[in-house]
Structure 1
């Protein structure tokens, strides 16, 4: 790809990785509309390292606190001795399902599931499920049931949201989208669901990015141009991703996810219309 394409795809990755609208879908759709080649699942996974760094910077204090508590707990032979240590182990346990399913369905994820039919279906279906989660939140509030904060998250919430995260392996579903939806179903506040979603993403995104980087290393080293473009896309994704995190956390303190639900449905229907008219190939 050209440097221009790399910058545009980096912006698309950074903007959409943390919003519940699917970065993978946009990295598949933008090239299709522009007449570029599909950058592929490997490119997507590696560029996500940029947004991973954005999460590390934004939640630096949380990560240091949780990591320190885990290490201290192990040294004191009391791994679950503090809430922060327990949070660390809950995040680790919640990561297991996506790793297992990612390995089991690796071939499908990198090939057939990248069809625009799958992506549009995932965009629309998850929008409907997210709207149901929003309805439940409003119903609970009307009954006087307060949503949960980060300190209220227990093993049940962590494991169920971790299992739900596996759905994100389907392009178009959105990792943040499915985990935030899972959090809302578990009665987490919107802001808490987003924060836990981002922290939960760290191990899985890091593992996927490093794995794809290792797999693609020889081909990347064989082409200086491809390597430079990948580095640029990753840096751009990280910078834009940091702003995206800050926006979403602030936005969800005062607003619902309605705008993202509408966007997902509109985008899914637009993709189907473009396929039907032959504008893009599925």
Structure 2
């Protein structure tokens, strides 16, 4: 992977991390289309690049992170399911990261679900958006939904927002809590990935530079993407993202059926 590859993947990450379209899935697809050479660093980069994007949440919602310990306890409750399952299933998840087929199927299925989400939870929008209404059981359940996103293509954002909607949160409140939950989740995922594969950086110091540049680009792009998503979601809902996912998933499945090799790692 070179610096240009890193910048392109970072732009994709920044644009898609907080949209319900799966940033990991899009990075896997992009890496395959770019013909990025196979290797463990590609998998590490796809996980660690998300750290830059989540820093944008801390900057944009800076004051919200100083509301009191109750806020952090709720985030911890929501983070716990993914932390436990991620630790237990890391090797399996790493294998899933190699499969464009999994991404194609989950994009397609998730897109169909998003077509109906606005109708299913229309009554939620009658409530006032306020994350203070999130209880500990609600936070834990949202965390269980988030754990579904360990499967590439599911979308952490989509899973957590839908999880919030099932608990009668508004789209805005569910989306913002999803943003906040991304911070501990992606920080932990990045830290674990870097630690487990630290030899990659000890053996080749250039990898650090590529990762840093990628995170900076992802941070800048994600700042704009978050502002766009909240406004779009509040006004238009999920249907457009559903159609987008269906189109991308269908195209990928057609390419796979045609025998076009989209595998990015050995």
Normalization by structure 1: what TM-score?
Answer: 0.86
> Which position in structure 1 is the counterpart of 2:130?
149
- Tell me, what secondary structure is at the counterpart of 1:173? coil
* Structure 1 gap ranges (5+): 71-84
- Confirm or deny: 8 A CA contact 2:52 2:219 kept in the other structure: yes
* Structure 1 runs (4+) greater than 4 angstroms displaced: none
Q: CA deviation at 1:184?
A: 1.9
1:44 paired with 2:46, answer yes
- CA drift of 1:40 comes to 3.6
Residues 148 and 131 from structure 1, CA distance in 2 versus in 1: closer, same or farther, beyond 3 angstroms? farther
Q: Given that residues 134 and 184 in structure 1 are in contact (C-alpha distance below 8 angstroms), is that contact kept between their aligned partners in structure 2?
A: no
Query: How far apart, CA to CA, are the structure 2 residues paired with 1:61 and 1:190?
Result: 21
Question: Is structure 2 residue 6 aligned with structure 1 residue 6?
Answer: yes
CA distance, structure 1, for counterparts of residue 24 and residue 153 of structure 2: 6
Decide whether the 8 Å contact of 1:114 with 1:171 is kept in 2. Answer: no
SS of 1:133's equivalent?
Answer: helix
Three-state SS of the structure 2 residue aligned to 1:114 is coil
TM-score (structure 2 length as normaliser):
0.91
Give the conservation status (yes or no) of the 8 Å contact 2:115–2:243: no
Deviation at 1:209, TM superposition (A): 0.7
CA distances 1:170-201 after superposition (whole Å, capped 9, x unpaired): 00011111111112222211111110101112
Count residues in correspondence. Answer: 261
Q: 1:243, 1:216 → 2: CA distance?
A: 31
Give the structure with higher Rg (CA).
Answer: 1
* C-alpha separation in 1, matches of 2:140 and 2:113: 19
CA contact (8 A) 1:122 1:173 kept: yes
Task: Mark the CA change 1:34 to 1:157 in structure 2 (over 3 Å): closer, same or farther.
Answer: same
CA distance in structure 1 between the aligned counterparts of 2:146 and 2:96, rounded to whole angstroms: 20
Where do 1:25-174 residues align within 5 Å?
25-37=25-37, 40-65=42-67, 69-70=68-69, 85=70, 87-112=71-96, 114-138=98-122, 140=123, 146=127, 149-174=130-155
Cα deviations by residue, 1:32-73 (Å, 9 ceiling, x for unpaired): 1222235643212211110121111111110122xxx21xxx
Q: Secondary structure at the match of 1:37?
A: coil
Partner of 2:185: 204
